[in-house]
Amino acid sequence: MKAILFASAFGLFFSLVGTPVLIRILARHGYGQMIRDDGPQAHHSKRGTPTMGGIAFILATLVGYALTHLIMGTKPTISGMLVLFLFAGMGLVGFLDDYIKIVKQRSLGLRAKAKMAGQLIVGIVFAVGALRFPDPAGTTPASTKLSFVTDFGWSLGPVLFALWALFMILAMSNGVNLTDGLDGLATGASVMVFGAYVFIGIWEYGQTCATAATAGAQCYQVRDPLDLAVVAAALMGACFGFLWWNTSPAKIFMGDTGSLALGGALAGLAICSHTEMLLAILGGLFVLITLSVIIQVSSFRMTGKRVFKMAPLQHHFELKGWSEVLIVVRFWIIQGLCVAVGLGLFYAGWVTS
């Protein structure tokens, strides 16, 4: 368990001290946030705030994970490396999007097809890799079965699994991206979900089918659960450090660099820990905000009327007169409740099985 403490501490430290360095670099080069003219008027004061802050917690996470294994004298696992590949790969797609917004002064960034292509390439590589590299017991990082708190049902087969994994990756990365509209909102919500996956990884490790104590009994057929907890701890610590600078009034924004990376990491942890459908509850705030956009667009196309004053949902409350800090805190409370319910269901699934 020392590895988890080291990973979270390293992630926190390098993000906390690295983010202000990044702020100075970005400000020196004029890499500031573009603000859409059709957004809330209060956001225009944020124009020029350094963006692409996701670089800070991506590097902090990778360095924290690597240093942890170096100090502990252990080798990185394939499950941990796959999640970090998805995390960094989605971050690279987001970085290209942010860079085009800033350098070419085009507020929409990458063309939709190019952005989707990048996400698909990273997602497919992850999905293919997740079904390979079996351990001595034949367990691969991912299973072709659907999962909630553990695997259930029939095998989807590799093709349908890849499509399912891509759906999860795209849904979560874009869900976090939509949530990243107010200072600290997406960062704080992500911290809570990563914290949940630290617990899930530890619990699965204690009840893994790979140990003699539980072999043949009730257990989790998950490869490398403890290292998944280490990855989640590094991510949690790095996001905590970034939140110090990203909370209101934000000194830096994560940009698509950070939001796509965080969404990819969440999807990767869910797939490799075999808790895919549980992620919809653990990350309930991201789901809620994504649904608000779907409802808004669908309603306008079908009836010509809008359900909300503005979508995503956080901007609806801004236009109703709520302060930014009030919205963020209340949405964090909602996210905390989602995590509590999700962990409760995870534990209940073990007790009742």
Q: Which of 143, 20, 7, 26 is nearest to 84 (CA)?
A: 7
- What's the pLDDT score for residue 44? 44
- What's the pLDDT score for residue 215? 47
What confidence category does residue 307 fall into, taking pLDDT thresholds of 50, 70 and 90? very high
Strand, coil or helix: what is 1?
A: coil
Tokens 């905390």 locate to: 336
Query: What is the residue-averaged pLDDT of the chain?
Result: 91
Tens-place pLDDT, residues 311-337: 999 999 999 999 999 999 999 999 999
* β-strand pairing of 151-155 with 145-147: antiparallel
- Residues in the annotated binding site: 177, 256
- What's the pLDDT score for residue 39? 53
| Dist CA 51 CA 251 (whole Å) | 9
- What's the pLDDT score for residue 31? 75
Residue 269 exposure: Cα atoms within 13 Å on the Cβ side? 37
DSSP state of 39: S
Q: What is the reported pTM?
A: 0.93
Tens-place pLDDT, residues 208-264: 887 745 444 578 999 999 999 999 999 999 999 999 999 999 999 999 999 999 999
Is the pLDDT score of 26 beyond 80?
yes
- What's the pLDDT score for residue 46? 62
- Residues in the annotated binding site for Mg(2+): 177, 256
The answer to whether the CB of 202 falls within 8 A of the CB of 1 is yes
Structure token digits, residue 135: 């351990």
Domain ranges of the chain: 1-274
- What's the pLDDT score for residue 38? 52
Residues in the chain: 353
Query: Dihedrals φ, ψ of 154, to 5°?
Result: -90, 160
